[in-house]
Amino acid sequence: EPEVTQTPSHQVTQMGQEVILRCVPISNHLYFYWYRQILGQKVEFLVSFYNNEISEKSEIFDDQFSVERPDGSNFTLKIRSTKLEDSAMYFCASSVEETNYGYTFGSGTRLTVV
Amino acid sequence: GQSLEQPSEVTAVEGAIVQINCTYQTSGFYGLSWYQQHDGGAPTFLSYNALDGLEETGRFSSFLSRSDSYGYLLLQELQMKDSASYFCAVRDSTNYQLIWGAGTKLIIKP
C-alpha cells in the first residue's frame, strides 16, 4: 500500500536553529499538507499546497514557516529560528484531490527544541 | 469560532460496543471524518459522512445529523487493538482546512 514517508523520525534542535522536515507524498497525489500535534493535544492544520503554491495556511503558519517542493517527489517544511513551543509531532499528509476525507498521513517527525 | 467537541476519554470492555460522539460548530460544513491514532502513530482515516445517516465499514460505523451538527463513531465487537485515540474532523467549506476535535482516548479492558 502506498505510503507517505517522513524523515527524520526524530529531530532534536537547539532553540534559534533552523530545521527542515522532509516528506515524500504518495506519487500520484496532488495535494499536500502539513499538520502538527503538540503532545497530548489535537491535530492542528498548518498549510496546504497544490500546484507548487500554498493553497491555504492557518494562523500558526507565520513567517517562521515555509514550505517547498524542490523536486518532483519531496515536500519540505522549514522552520526558521525554532522556539521551545515548536516542539511537537509534525505530520505530512497527501491526497489525490481536493478531498474532504481520506488524507494519507505520514508517520510524523517528532521535533524537540531544547 | 470553529470548534468540535468530543469526550476526552471513554472506557469499554472487550467485545462490547462503544459510541464516540462529536458535535461541531463551524462556519461551513463539508463533511465529518473520523481518524484513529495509536500512541506515537500517525492518524489513519476511518470513515467519512457528507450526508445524514449511517455509514458502515466492517466493525466501524459513523453517523451524521447535519441539522443537529452532530455525529458519532460506533465501534462494535471491540478488540484490544482498538485502544487508541479517535478524532472527529470537519472540513470547512470555505477553505481546505480540516478542523479537528481534541480526540477521545478509548480504553478497552479485558
When pLDDT is cut at 50, 70 and 90, the band that residue A103 belongs to is confident
A37 closest CA partner among B98, B106, B20: B98
- Whats the size of chain A, residue-wise? 114
Q: Which three cell numbers stand for residue A102?
A: 481520506
What's the first-to-final CA gap in chain B, in angstroms? 40
- pLDDT, position A102: 76
Residue B31 to residue A55, Cβ atoms within 8 A = no
How far is residue A66's CA from residue A54's CA, in Å, rounded to a whole number?
Answer: 9
Nearest CB neighbour to B50, from listed A42, A100, A108: A100
B10 in contact with chain A, both atoms CB, cutoff 8 A: no
Say yes or no: B57 contacts chain A, CB-CB below 8 A.
Answer: no
In angstroms, what CA-CA distances link A50 with A64, B22, B89, B110?
Answer: 20, 30, 21, 46
Considering chain A, what percentage of its residues have pLDDT values greater than 70? Answer: 96
Query: In the prediction, which pLDDT does B54 show?
Result: 96
C-alpha span between A77 and A70 (Å, rounded): 11
Mean of pLDDT values over B69-85:
97
Predicted pLDDT of residue B96: 61
The gap between the terminal CA atoms of chain A, to the nearest Å, is 36
- Pick the residue of B32, B85, B97 with the most A CBs within 10 A to test the interface with A by mutation: B97
Structure confidence at residue A39 (pLDDT): 87
CB-nearest partner of A41 from B35, B41, B102: B102
Task: Tell me whether A108 touches chain B (CB under 8 Å).
Answer: yes
pLDDT score of B1: 63
Q: Give contacts of B100 with chain A, Cβ < 8 Å.
A: 42-45
Average pLDDT, chain A: 92
Query: Per the structure block, which three cell numbers stand in for B4?
Result: 468540535
Q: Is A112 helix (H, G, I), strand (E, B) or coil?
A: strand
**8 A C-beta contact, residue B110 and residue B61:** no
Q: B41 or A93: whose pLDDT is higher? A: A93
Question: Would you call B39 an interface residue with chain A, using a CB distance cutoff of 8 Å?
Answer: no
pLDDT surpasses 90 at B76:
yes
What's the pLDDT score for residue A38?
92
Higher pLDDT, A49 or A97: A49
Q: Chain A contacts of B92, Cβ < 8 Å?
A: none
Q: Left (φ > 0), alpha (ψ -120 to 50) or beta: where does B56 sit?
A: beta
pLDDT digits (tens, 9 = 90+) for A18-70: 999 999 999 889 899 999 999 888 889 999 999 889 988 999 999 999 999 98
What distances in angstroms separate CA A102 from CA A81, A96, B34, one per listed residue?
33, 9, 9
Q: Of A31, A101, A107, which is closest to B45 when you measure between CB atoms?
A: A101
pLDDT band, residue B99 (cuts 50/70/90): confident
Pairing of strands A109-113, A10-13: parallel
**Grid cell for residue A36:** 502538527
pLDDT digits (tens, 9 = 90+) for B32-64: 999 999 988 889 999 999 899 999 989 999 999
Q: In chain A, what residues touch B38 (CB-CB under 8 Å)? A: none
